Amino acid sequence: MMTTSLALLILFGSALLVLGNLRVVVQDTYAMITTCATRARASGQMIPRLAFLLLWLLIFSLSFA
């Protein structure tokens, strides 16, 4: 019971920290995605990386369905 309570406390604390800084998280995520997309486009790896991303999205979506 104590372990479950501690795990839930850590989970809710982490969620609270993320939600409290949501604007910064979104800005950093957007900057990272645009940088990676620019590099992939410049190196000619955009289609393989996009296919890999879609594969993982498919795997995760099917695992929760």
**pLDDT of 65 over the 80 cut:** no
Task: Look up residue 21 and give its DSSP letter.
Answer: T
The SS3 of residue 44 is: coil
**Residue range 49-54: mean pLDDT, rounded:** 91
**Residue range 13-22: mean pLDDT, rounded:** 90
| Cα distance between residue 15 and residue 7, in whole Å | 12
| Cα distance between residue 56 and residue 65, in whole Å | 14
Is the pTM above the cut of 0.85? no
**Residue range 5-17: mean pLDDT, rounded:** 93
How does residue 18 score in pLDDT terms, banded at 50, 70 and 90? confident
| Cα distance between residue 20 and residue 11, in whole Å | 14
The SS3 of residue 45 is: coil
